[in-house]
Structure 1
Amino acid sequence: MRLSNILLATKPFSSKKCPGQIGISCQTGTVSKSLSQVLRNRKSQNPPKFPRTLPNRAYLALCLLALSSSSLLIAQDTRTVTEPTLPPACASLDAQLNTSGHSLAAEDENKLDTVRIQKALDTCTKGHGVVLHTHGKANAFLSGPLELREGVTLIVDKGVTLFASRDAAAFETSPGSCGILSETRGGCKPLISAKHVSGAGVMGDGTIDGRGEEQILGKDITWWGLAAQAGKTGHQQCFRLIFTDSADNFTLYRITLKNSPNFHVVYNHGDGFTAWGLKIDTPQRNAPNTDGVDPGDGAKNITITHSYIRAGDDNIAIKGGTGGLTNMTVSHNHFYWGHGMSIGSETNGGVSQVRVFDLSLDGPDNGIRIKSNGSRGGLVHDVVYDDVCVRNSRNPITLDTAYSAAGTLKGNSPPSMRDVTLHHVRVSGGGKISFNGYATDYRIGANLDDVLLTDALPYQYVISHADLYLGPGPVNLQLANGTDSTIGGKAGQGSAVSCTDKFVPFPQQ
């Protein structure tokens, strides 16, 4: 993509959305510039000159503002993303089961639709979709693992619920490997997978229910109960709802995902992932490892927009494992309970060029969060949080290199963070604010510009191995130099803009 095609707004993004398009503000009078225009303008100006006599850290602090300004311009998905559309149908399948309460009747637990759904997916022509729809009073399907094909979309129509089977044997990768605790991982197939295909997706106004809160058939424990035991006696073998690997141009559109036994969505090694109008709902607050969306491990060009996520773990967790992750946009979203807008904890492959804007986080355990430790760390850089509202979070802003019980131990993969920008951020409800770097040579570098607490509740601060630059906008955090840290810049004056209109109820079907 040419640089001139990357649109960048020159004013803060408002909560008002442009229908069908992201990355552009609808504010009256806002003018968008292309990156090439910005660069041309910069060439005509004299570059800033810093005194050579400044100590290295002071020089670094002064550089943060200029570097963070560049991050505001280039950290994002490089694609021009517009609202998806439903493809034409290649096949329509009638529901044959009825919901009973929020699940299925016991006598229907062996009436699987797996074979007929998979057959329709296998025979569907590229660019089309298989539609699951109601038939009379019948409104449910029951399935084990399904595999998407090249250019084929699974469409779950309004009023339809696709339930995952409670039979662990349906998901096992080897005999007896799923629905247990073991020393290894990878014992379960996902409910829906897309591997080495392009142009596939899952769409529709219906629901896919992983039934994580229900008992595994033949056992006296639920999927979430099994996950709660993990770590004490072994790894949980619980299936994921949607898993992709090397699936370019994958799309989730308007679908509701709920109650996954493990992560709801994983996107690895692909180029081009769009989630638009996605709803992820885990009604139980403490459901271990039920992350909303986990992109990472070699993924790039990702957009998650106009979505609503409440989860038992991270709302979004950007993973930078061995393959790393780059160029991601998170825009116009609402998060509720969960562990926040997270990067990590795996950052050993690197995470860069991430832009989060127009986000509300209402009652999560964590708000803005970058986490890692010495066993899985790497470089996280060029990350921008712009127009973010957080309320009632124990940890509203957390950049932490001592994540997990083993986080304080020094390892062979030290984490560091630089060129992290917090811009137009509002926090209320109290809590802890942390900039906790790893060591003198593995630091946190961040610019805080217009970052305001909007109440008088108590806040705690942790600052170590960090270089923070304040301004030019107002900052009223009570920051003080911590262990091996510097605070530079000069915050301006200003008052907080209300976030009241940002916090909206989770949409009900």
Structure 2
Amino acid sequence: MKYADLSMNILLLLPTLFLSAINGAIAGDTRSVSEPVVPQSCQMLKANGAADSTSYIQDALNACTSGKAVYLTAATGSSAFYSGPLKLPSGVSLRVEKGATLLAIANPSLFDNGNHTCGTLDDTGKGCNPFIQIKNASGSGIYGPGSIDGQGNAIMTGKSQSWWQLATAAKNKNTRQNAPRLIQIDNSKNITLYQITLKNGPNFHVVSNNSNGLTLWGITIAAPANARNTDGFDPMGSQNVTLIHCRISTGDDNVAIKAGNASSAHISILDNHFGTGHGMSIGSEINQGVSDVTVNSLILSGTTNGLRIKSDSSRGGKVTDVTYENICMQNVKNPIVLDTRYDSAATGSLIPEYRDITFRNLNVLTAGTFTFAGYSASKPLSLTLDNVHISKGSVWHKQYAIIQGTVVEDGGGSCDN
């Protein structure tokens, strides 16, 4: 652990409180979110095998009427569409039908944003355009039930390694890889991802930035546990977001709510299942603040971390009004981590503050390490534990934390799948 001076009590049993101090129901997404309806087709495209389909698909998207979608369908003997970067116009959607797969061509030159660094290592990691970009759009979406494959495991054209091998090399050399994100949503509103399978992203799978109104319903995100920087879903500086009925297994954060350039608020994470990955995270960039987050009915199985808030003095801010409720964890190494010194070497004056954090109806089936580490005596954590059950043999780390409620050492049973 980074905190050598933390207490090592196996179980912290705090005085039982009647939890009247909980701040009522914490608000997530302020919208009334219902199951999306797939738009009608404006054009149906047939799979053409190994051919480059970039222009084939982009031309159809550009010609599509607002409110409708381009459908990608399997053909006899072929289910694949290979493509370079695509852009969804405002109001236009893309549907990948059952049996069809849209694959990103593993050619860095196609994704290079003009600096001739895509597919290389440098200090910024910002040299690639995303595979699918939704920018300055309203009412666009991506629909299944087919698949979008980023081919993070494919050897890059003109290279001797895959995107994921490049990421591993970046870690070993303490630098950054230039690899494309799978789906990037910027400055947009009312965007939908529905019943689509996203897999093998070269980098993050879905990122929203400075957007308002985003629904991810019934999607699957999948990448190997050792595929570095393959976050599942990262809402950054975004408002009114719902992730519901989804399954996410990755090599990094399953979800990471961030607020580096703008605040993130009113986010609902509802009825999801997370497999391998680094867990349900907030941070590490929280400069502009994160608030009004609800995580309800979540199963975490085999994640490295369970429920985590992470930051440090170089990128900290306020995280407030967060409720985790009806959570089940099994084979999770670190079930709860509230960490204000994520990078122990970080310097700066952006001190993380985590307040009004509630954990209610948690069942942790296997022993793990729990960390509650505030920044200082003047800036402690403030949280409530209500009906939290952990397993025998768990380790408890606590420093600069004001904790109300109880923990019971009787976790057991099974998580319903």
Q: Distance in 1 between matches of 2:109 and 2:301?
A: 38
Aligned to 2:379: 442
Aligned to 2:23: 69
Q: Any stretches of 5+ residues in structure 2 without a counterpart? A: 1-14
Q: Distance in 1 between matches of 2:414 and 2:328?
A: 6
Residues 228-279 of structure 1 show CA distances to partners (whole Å, capped at 9, x for unaligned) of 1224252210000000101100000000000001000001111100000010
Aligned to 1:95: 47
SS where residue 168 of structure 2 aligns? helix
Q: Distance in 2 between matches of 1:269 and 1:64?
A: 39
Deviates more, 1:330-339 or 1:216-225: 216-225
Is structure 2 residue 300 aligned with structure 1 residue 361? yes
Q: Distance in 1 between matches of 2:27 and 2:413?
A: 26
Q: Name the CA shift for 1:476/1:62 in 2 (closer, same or farther; >3 Å).
A: closer
Aligned to 1:483: none
Instruction: Say whether the 8 Å CA contact 2:373–2:397 is kept in structure 1.
Output: yes
Q: Name the CA shift for 1:268/1:64 in 2 (closer, same or farther; >3 Å).
A: farther
Report the AA paired with residue 110 of structure 2. A
Percent identical pairs in the alignment equals: 43
Q: Name the CA shift for 1:350/1:308 in 2 (closer, same or farther; >3 Å).
A: same
Q: Distance in 2 between matches of 1:166 and 1:226?
A: 12
Aligned to 1:426: 363
Q: Distance in 2 between matches of 1:184 and 1:333?
A: 33
How far did residue 221 of structure 1 move?
A: 1.1
Instruction: Say whether the 8 Å CA contact 2:93–2:140 is kept in structure 1.
Output: yes
TM-score by length of 1: 0.77
Q: Distance in 2 between matches of 1:135 and 1:408?
A: 55
Residues 192-214 of structure 1 show CA distances to partners (whole Å, capped at 9, x for unaligned) of 00000100010011000001112
Which of 64, 68, 76 in structure 2 is aligned with 1:128?
68
TM-score by length of 2: 0.93
Q: Name the CA shift for 1:140/1:410 in 2 (closer, same or farther; >3 Å).
A: same
Instruction: Say whether the 8 Å CA contact 2:247–2:274 is kept in structure 1.
Output: yes
Report the AA paired with residue 280 of structure 2. M
Aligned to 1:417: 354
Instruction: Say whether the 8 Å CA contact 2:364–2:412 is kept in structure 1.
Output: no
How far did residue 351 of structure 1 move?
A: 0.4
Deviates more, 1:169-178 or 1:119-128: 169-178
Which of 244, 252, 255 in structure 2 is aligned with 1:305?
244
Q: How does 1:297-446 map to 2 (within 5 A)?
A: 297=237, 299-403=238-342, 406-407=343-344, 409-446=346-383
Aligned to 2:5: none
Aligned to 2:405: 470
Deviates more, 1:256-265 or 1:229-238: 229-238
How far did residue 64 of structure 1 move?
A: 11
Report the AA paired with residue 415 of structure 2. T
How far did residue 374 of structure 1 move?
A: 1.0
Report the AA paired with residue 187 of structure 1. G
Report the AA paired with residue 74 of structure 2. T
Instruction: Say whether the 8 Å CA contact 1:181–1:234 is kept in structure 2.
Output: yes
Aligned to 1:219: 159
Deviates more, 1:267-276 or 1:226-235: 226-235
Aligned to 2:191: 250
Q: Distance in 2 between matches of 1:220 and 1:390?
A: 40
Q: Name the CA shift for 1:64/1:442 in 2 (closer, same or farther; >3 Å).
A: farther
Q: Distance in 2 between matches of 1:316 and 1:171?
A: 25
Q: How does 1:45-194 map to 2 (within 5 A)?
A: 65-70=19-24, 73-97=25-49, 108=50, 111-194=51-134
Q: Name the CA shift for 1:176/1:499 in 2 (closer, same or farther; >3 Å).
A: same
Instruction: Say whether the 8 Å CA contact 1:64–1:419 is kept in structure 2.
Output: no
How far did residue 307 of structure 1 move?
A: 0.4
How far did residue 321 of structure 1 move?
A: 1.1
Instruction: Say whether the 8 Å CA contact 2:330–2:364 is kept in structure 1.
Output: yes
Higher fraction of strand:
2
SS where residue 22 of structure 2 aligns? helix
How far did residue 322 of structure 1 move?
A: 2.3
Q: Name the CA shift for 1:233/1:461 in 2 (closer, same or farther; >3 Å).
A: closer
Which of 490, 496, 500 in structure 1 is aligned with 2:415?
500
Q: Name the CA shift for 1:268/1:62 in 2 (closer, same or farther; >3 Å).
A: farther
Bigger CA radius of gyration:
1
Aligned to 1:9: none
Aligned to 1:52: none
Q: Name the CA shift for 1:289/1:150 in 2 (closer, same or farther; >3 Å).
A: same
Q: Distance in 2 between matches of 1:394 and 1:221?
A: 31
- Give 4+ residue runs of structure 1 displaced > 3 Å after superposition: 61-67, 495-500
Q: Any stretches of 5+ residues in structure 1 without a counterpart? A: 1-60, 98-107, 478-494, 505-509
Q: Distance in 2 between matches of 1:183 and 1:260?
A: 21
SS where residue 408 of structure 2 aligns? coil
SS where residue 230 of structure 1 aligns? helix
Report the AA paired with residue 310 of structure 2. K
Q: How does 1:269-280 map to 2 (within 5 A)?
A: 269-280=210-221
Report the AA paired with residue 437 of structure 1. G
Report the AA paired with residue 179 of structure 2. C
Aligned to 1:228: 168
Residues 88-135 of structure 1 show CA distances to partners (whole Å, capped at 9, x for unaligned) of 0001001011xxxxxxxxxx3xx2100010011111011000000011
Q: Name the CA shift for 1:233/1:419 in 2 (closer, same or farther; >3 Å).
A: closer
Higher fraction of helix:
1
Instruction: Say whether the 8 Å CA contact 2:329–2:415 is kept in structure 1.
Output: no
How far did residue 459 of structure 1 move?
A: 1.3
Residues 293-317 of structure 1 show CA distances to partners (whole Å, capped at 9, x for unaligned) of 00012x1000000000000000000
How far did residue 376 of structure 1 move?
A: 0.6
Q: Distance in 1 between matches of 2:155 and 2:260?
A: 32
Give the number of the structure with larger relative contact order, counting CA–CA contacts within 8 Å between residues 6 or more apart.
2
Q: Distance in 2 between matches of 1:93 and 1:85?
A: 20
